[in-house]
């Protein structure tokens, strides 16, 4: 798609994105995917990160400013001053913040004079405890719009008192379906690189190693799967503070020969093509990008019924109760027994994502919202 496709009589937009960070997380990957789509549609994008460290890939046309903000009032005031200077120098049409810390920062920034409209997007069904809900509610009047990536997450925000029902809408995450798609040649190359034989069944999980993703429960479940299906292999792609605990758990279960903690990976599209089944074990989600990416790749998905999963997958995935390793193990065994998938099954999963969540369509939704808010501001 060329840049001319995004041109309108209203002209291009200048979009300033504020994010808590630019590490390898789902929300950060969504920011990058949207930024690429906005550029392709003929707009200008700049990113302001509250913290240092950029792990996601961004086009060189995007200017990134890292504030290195610390948890002190003095550091926050200094960061707000730098952000105001950037806004007054770059003149964005809108400011779009993502994740709780960036959302609250953007609302504080919005109190300054001569600021464009501010949009705040939440990505988790649990944005924090009572204090964060109070902070959201107290600063609600300083933003033009609050959004969530799923209806379940939106309902949770309203129930917590963080935002009035009339002041929050759902705009889903977008999946870059040009990157996530079936490819037999890529599958064969990656399976060879991973040392997988033709009879090996690769079950893939992608996510940070944090309590919310509950890979500890997944490892318990996979112990049951491996006992019955010795050719099954589990790869967990991601890193995080629980890595050491999970390494010990794998060893305690005697699963070192079938479970690989692969660390953070930048070749997730290729890993998905190499996999036979995708599994999500999360307790908390917003709208899980990894599930959408797996479905776009044609994979069968087994997932816990965390917030937003059913909205992404519809009836194309097998859902199990949160925190139930036996149910997850049973669903994985049943799904593996049905392999290999047929071409119509793969196409149906992919079309679920292409038809509802393609990133270019989601980007156009955002651009329409930006223009409406700019005109009203």
Mean pLDDT of the region 186-214: 97
296 vs 112: which has the higher pLDDT: 296
DSSP 146: E
pLDDT of residue 9: 43
3-state secondary structure of 276: coil
State mean pLDDT over 260-278: 96
Same fold, 3-174+358-376 and 184-356: yes
Yes or no: say if 231 and 206 are a contact pair by the CB < 8 Å rule: no
The pLDDT assigned to 248 comes to 98
Domain boundaries, the chain: 3-174+358-376, 184-356
pLDDT of 171 above 50: yes
- Residue from 371, 354, 372 nearest 174 by CA: 354
Q: In angstroms, rounded to a whole number, what is the distance separating the alpha carbons of residues 97 and 338?
A: 43
CATH number of 184-356: 3.40.50.2000
Using pLDDT thresholds of 50, 70 and 90, give the confidence band for residue 7.
very low
Structure tokens of 309? Answer: 């999963």
In whole angstroms, give the CA distance from residue 157 to residue 136: 9
**Which tens digit of pLDDT belongs to each residue from 279-298?**
999 999 989 999 999 999 99
Average pLDDT (34-48) is: 96
Q: Count of CB atoms within 10 A of residue 324's CB?
A: 15
Integer Cα distance of 371 and 368 in angstroms: 5
Whether the CB-CB separation of 263 and 237 falls below 8 Å is answered with yes
Q: In the structure, what pLDDT confidence band is assigned to residue 3 with cuts at 50, 70 and 90?
A: very low
For residues 67 and 51, the answer to whether their CB atoms sit within 8 Å is: yes
The predicted-structure confidence for 339-355, as pLDDT tens digits, reads as follows: 999 999 999 999 999 99
Residue 249: in which H helix or E strand, if any?
A: helix 243-252
Residue found by looking up tokens 């065994």 in the block = 333
Give the model's confidence band at 319: pLDDT under 50 very low, under 70 low, under 90 confident, else very high. very high
Per-residue tokens: 274: 């190499």
* Distance between CA atoms of residues 209 and 211, nearest Å: 7
Task: Name the band, by pLDDT with cuts 50, 70 and 90, for residue 25.
Answer: confident
Mean pLDDT of the region 145-160: 93
Report yes or no: 283 and 208 within 8 Å, Cβ to Cβ. Answer: no
Q: For the domain bounded by 3-174+358-376, which CATH number is listed?
A: 3.40.50.2000
User: Once rounded to an integer, what is the mean pLDDT over residues 256-268?
Assistant: 96
In the chain the beta strands, taken as DSSP E runs, fall at: 14-19, 44-49, 63-66, 94-98, 118-122, 145-148, 168-170, 201-206, 232-237, 259-263, 277-280, 301-304, 317-320
The per-residue pLDDT for 1 is 35
pLDDT digits 0-9 by tens, 62-101: 999 999 898 898 999 999 999 999 999 999 999 999 999 9
């Amino acid at each position: 798609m060329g840049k001319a496709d995004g041109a309108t009589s209203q002209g291009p937009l200048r979009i300033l994105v504020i994010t808590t960070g630019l590490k390898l997380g789902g929300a950060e990957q969504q920011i990058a995917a949207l930024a690429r789509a906005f550029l392709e549609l003929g707009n200008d994008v700049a990113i302001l990160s509250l913290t240092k460290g950029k792990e996601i890939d961004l086009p060189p046309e995007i200017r990134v400013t890292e504030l290195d903000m610390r948890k002190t009032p003095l550091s926050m005031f200094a960061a707000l001053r730098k952000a105001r200077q950037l806004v007054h120098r770059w003149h964005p049409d809108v400011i779009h913040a993502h994740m709780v810390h960036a959302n609250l920062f953007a609302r504080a920034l919005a109190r300054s004079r001569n600021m464009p409209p501010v949009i705040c997007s939440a990505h988790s069904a649990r944005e924090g405890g009572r204090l964060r809900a109070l902070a959201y509610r107290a600063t609600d009047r300083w933003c033009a719009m609050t959004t969530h990536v799923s209806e379940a997450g939106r309902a949770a925000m309203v129930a917590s008192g963080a935002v009035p029902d009339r002041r929050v809408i759902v705009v889903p995450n977008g999946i870059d379906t040009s990157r996530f798609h079936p490819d037999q040649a890529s599958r064969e190359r990656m399976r060879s690189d991973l040392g997988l034989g033709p009879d090996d069944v690769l079950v893939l999980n992608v996510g940070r190693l944090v309590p919310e993703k509950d890979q500890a429960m997944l490892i318990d479940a996979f112990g049951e799967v491996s006992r019955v299906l010795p050719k099954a292999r589990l790869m967990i792609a991601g890193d995080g503070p629980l890595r050491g605990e999970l390494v010990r758990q794998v060893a305690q279960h005697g699963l070192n020969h079938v479970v690989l903690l692969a660390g953070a990976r930048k070749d997730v599209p290729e890993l998905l093509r190499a996999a036979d089944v995708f599994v999500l074990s999360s307790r908390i989600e917003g709208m899980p990008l990894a599930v959408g990416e797996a479905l776009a790749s044609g994979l069968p998905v087994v997932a816990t019924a965390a917030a937003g999963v059913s909205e992404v997958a519809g009836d194309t995935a097998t859902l199990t109760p949160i925190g139930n390793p036996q149910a997850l193990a049973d669903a994985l065994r049943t799904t593996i027994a049905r392999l290999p998938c047929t071409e119509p099954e793969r196409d149906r999963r992919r079309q679920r994502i292409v038809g509802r969540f393609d990133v270019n369509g989601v980007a156009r939704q955002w651009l329409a919202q930006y223009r409406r808010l700019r005109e009203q501001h």
